[in-house]
Amino acid sequence: MEIKTIVGLEIHVQLKTKTKMFCSCEASYFEDKANTHVCPVCLGLPGALPVLNKEALIKAIRVGKVLNFTINNRSRFDRKNYMYPDLFKGYQITQFEFPIDTDGFIDLDNNKRINIFRAHLEEDTAKSLHHEGYTLLDGNKAGIPLLEIVSAPEMYSSKEAKEYAKKVYNLVRFVGASDCDMEKGQMRFDVNVNLEIHKEGKIFKTPIVEIKNLNSFRSLERSIEYEEKRQLEEFEKTGKVLDRGNKSTRGWNDNLSKTYFQREKEESDDYRYFPEPDIPPLNLSDGFISKAIESIDVLPQVAQKKLEEEYLLPHSIVILIMEERKYYDFFQRITTLYKNYINLANWFSTDILSLVNQYNINLSDISTDEIVKILTAVDKKEITVSTGKQILKSVLIDKDDIDILLEKNSLISDQGKLDETVKEVLDKNPDIIEKYLSGKESILSFLIGEVMKILKGRANPLEVKNKILDGISKIKSN
Ligand SMILES: [Zn+2]
């Protein structure tokens, strides 16, 4: 028996705009008092007319570009009719037959291509606040612009689904279309999953399950893994296979790590879609579309190519830098003055990032000048690497003066002083030299340590080691 998991993903992204999709209410509402960002349009009061937000269109075009979509000049809004308490109007304005973006794709790291059917614009619903015996509604979220990105069912494991979702997340953020903060609900996943069971020369498909409203990569991955087990068990028990109308919707309980049954899923014709009469069909000019694309100042594909082909960075660091637009911007800023790219990448991916994360430092607040001074001093061997790291910390955290630190910590360039100190340490430690000569080579580090102590760390340990070895061989030959 061979079992194949089949996953399709619908990703809801709240587009980052100043105002809502069809009215001038402020779109940023996180933790604001309930129902303070509402007006007749987003409350669905009779007679209120929607006006389309141009910024949402531009962001949808940017996403269209980076997910390799065809961006359509002509698209249309439709009404999706259903009754639900969080939908004040009794219908949602969305795009059904003619979405703005169609036929996109993303390539996974192993070059497997995942096709993306479409990305369509729609409006978010209100938020339900459930209490014991009653539910309150907060309209602040109602009418926030959403882009729903619908993949083909072409991911065959939870790992592939997670990789795809992560790539969409990175690309959408890189072009500033959304912050995708999942804790704030700015990105949510609906997963369609079922199994293809190859058994005794036949193929059985289990009923498709849609898991709704996942808000982390981890729950995405784990809910698919849970369904793989549950659907196989159910198939073995009941033999039930995919049939029209037997799709179901399930929720995800993160604490129990289980999906739970919610309802049989409505087929799409239950929604009685029809063209939205209050918004004329969209007819975007080529000029509008190309201007929206140009508003992406750096295409992620171009940025990545630059890191790989111009800076010749290792793949793992390229992936890291491409995770955040601010990483890329920081890197770019330093490279205008510092050309040892791989060295910079190493410092960035380890010491700089760990300080930034640990102390919550804003990358854009870090001075280019200071970073370049530290790296250059290390390159010129004016300071050691470990001193460089200490200086980096002092400068970033304690805001100490870079020039004073470099001056104070620079290595002793006076060879006479170095020779003199080595001689002094050797003269003081004949017994240690004896031990070294009798084969205890590890004791050399004690001598190096003594020299470094006298010089307050301002010497290159390798150079000190060589001088000590020279000194010992002179003693030996005498
Ligand atoms: Zn409004």
Q: How far is the CA of 138 from the centre of ligand 1 (A)?
A: 12
Instruction: Assess whether pLDDT exceeds 80 at residue 121.
Output: yes
Ligand 1 centre distance from Cα of residue 53 (Å) = 12
Residue 99 confidence (pLDDT) = 98
Q: Based on the number of CB atoms within 10 Å of its own CB, is 271 exposed (0-12), middle (13-18) or buried (19 or more)?
A: middle
Distance 37 CA to ligand 1 centre (A): 6
Ligand 1 center–CA 16 separation, angstroms? 16
**192 CB contacts (<8 Å, ≥6 apart)?**
7, 8, 9, 10, 153, 208, 209, 210
- Tell me, in angstroms, the distance from the centre of ligand 1 to residue 35's CA: 10
pLDDT band at 462 (very low <50, low <70, confident <90, very high): confident
pLDDT in tens, 350-384: 999 999 999 999 999 999 999 999 999 999 888 88
390 alpha carbon – ligand 1 mean position (Å): 52
Amino acid 35: pLDDT: 97
Could you tell me the distance, in angstroms and rounded to a whole number, from the CA of residue 276 to the centre of ligand 1? 18
Q: What is the distance in A from the centroid of ligand 1 to the CA of 273?
A: 23
pLDDT for residue 408 is more than 90:
no
Q: Flag the least confident range among 90-104, 114-128, 205-219, 257-271.
A: 257-271
Q: Across residues 92-106, what is the average pLDDT?
A: 97
pLDDT digits (tens, 9 = 90+) for 30-51: 999 999 999 999 999 988 999 9
Report the range of poorest mean pLDDT among 175-189, 282-296, 413-427: 413-427
In the chain, % of residues over pLDDT 70: 99
Q: What is the reported pLDDT for 249? A: 93
Per-residue confidence band for 389, with pLDDT thresholds at 50, 70 and 90:
very high
Task: Tell me the pLDDT tens digit for each residue of 65-75.
Answer: 999 999 999 99
CATH top-level class of 415-477: mainly alpha
41 Cα to the center of ligand 1, angstroms: 5
Tell me the per-residue pLDDT of 319-342, one tens digit each, with 9 for 90 and over.
Answer: 999 999 999 999 999 999 999 999
Tell how far CA 294 is from the center of its chain.
23
Domain ranges of the chain: 2-286, 298-409, 415-477
Measured in Å, how far apart are the chain's first and last C-alpha atoms?
81
Residue 310 makes CB contacts below 8 A (sequence gap 6+) with none
Whether the per-residue pLDDT at 222 is higher than 90: the answer is yes
Say yes or no to pLDDT of 268 above 70: no
Between the CA of 139 and the centroid of ligand 1 the distance, in Å, is 9
Band (pLDDT 50/70/90 cuts) for residue 297 is: confident
The CA 49 to ligand 1 mean position distance, Å, reads 11
pLDDT number for residue 478: 72
- If you compute the radius of gyration of the chain from its CA atoms, what whole number of angstroms results? 31
Q: What is the mean pLDDT of residues 53-57?
A: 97
* C-alpha 12 to ligand 1 mean position (Å): 20
122 CA → ligand 1 middle, Å: 15
Inter-residue contact 142 to 291 (CB < 8 Å): no
pLDDT at 448: 92
pTM to 2 decimals?
0.83
- Looking at the predicted structure, is the pLDDT value of residue 91 above 70? yes
